Amino acid sequence: MKPLLITIDGPAGAGKTTVSRALADRLGYAYMDTGALYRGVAREMHVRQVDPEDEKGLAWVLGDLDLRFVRRDGDLRLLSAGVDITGEIRNPEITMLASAASARPEVRCALLALQRRLGAEKSAVFEGRDMGTVVFPDADVKFFLSADLHVRARRRYLELAGGQEVSIEQVEKDMQKRDANDAGRSIAPLKPADDAFHIDSTSKSAGAVVDEMMVVIRDVAGR
């Protein structure tokens, strides 16, 4: 099969991460979690006490930005200036800051170039919000994965439940707010590309979603 660039966009909790990883494994492709890059920027903002409205502060953070993915023991790790920050980017504070930061044009612009460099070789599955619409409008196969808000909140709650004290109601509220931020921002809002294949994962297992995607990918690859 010729090398393909595959994009998976959709709201938080739709199952993008699980599905993207499994799909990349099945294809022997690299997996790229672009949300982690926005979270990486948010982590640097947090460390330097820069808020999303602070233009000078953002320029300072972005001027020094040095984010890199590495694979360790089959896991995707995010390094910032060589330091592994993977364990720091999923807490609720960084999550909300990443959402606010992702509405800033200068942040999106800085990450656009980085993401396109990462995609230059193809043979990759990119997960995010604007992969098929803005970053890779010429991607070979585009998916848009969605699910009901309740189901998404429950999935995220179960993921978080190990380490953090949050209620499912709070997770759902935060998710709704983030959905509104992501879909309502003027620059690169969350929306399906015109040529994306839509999959609703509300009542489907990750395996079933990946199977469905593989059918589409084989069809495209065979053309």
Residues at the contact surface with ligand DC, assessed by CB under 6 A: 12, 34-35, 38-39, 98-99, 102, 128-131, 178, 182
> In the complex, which residue's CB is closest to ligand DC?
35
Write down the least CB distance from residue 213 to ligand DC, Å.
18
- Contact at 8 Å (CB) between 146 and 11? yes
Q: From 132, 148, 141, select the one nearest 212 (Cα to Cα).
A: 141
Our CB check for ligand DC shows the closer of 76 and 221 to be 76
Closer of 114 and 221 to ligand DC (Cβ): 114
Give min distance, CB of 215 to ligand DC, in A: 25
Which CB, 166 or 221, lies closer to ligand DC? 166
Q: Could you tell me the two tokens for 160?
A: 């978080």
Least distance (Å) from ligand DC to the CB of residue 212?
Answer: 21
Judged by beta carbon, residue 172 or residue 182, the one nearer ligand DC is 182
Measured from the CB atom, the residue of 27 and 34 that comes closer to ligand DC is 34
Distances (CA, A) of 164 to 43, 88, 92, 108, 160: 18, 13, 9, 29, 6
Nearest partner of 41 among 82, 89, 105, 84, judged by Cα: 89
CB of 128 to ligand DC, least distance (A): 3
Distance CA 144, CA 197 (A): 6
Nearest approach in angstroms of CB 222 to ligand DC is: 29
CA distances from 143 to 5, 39, 46, 82, 192 (A): 11, 22, 32, 32, 8
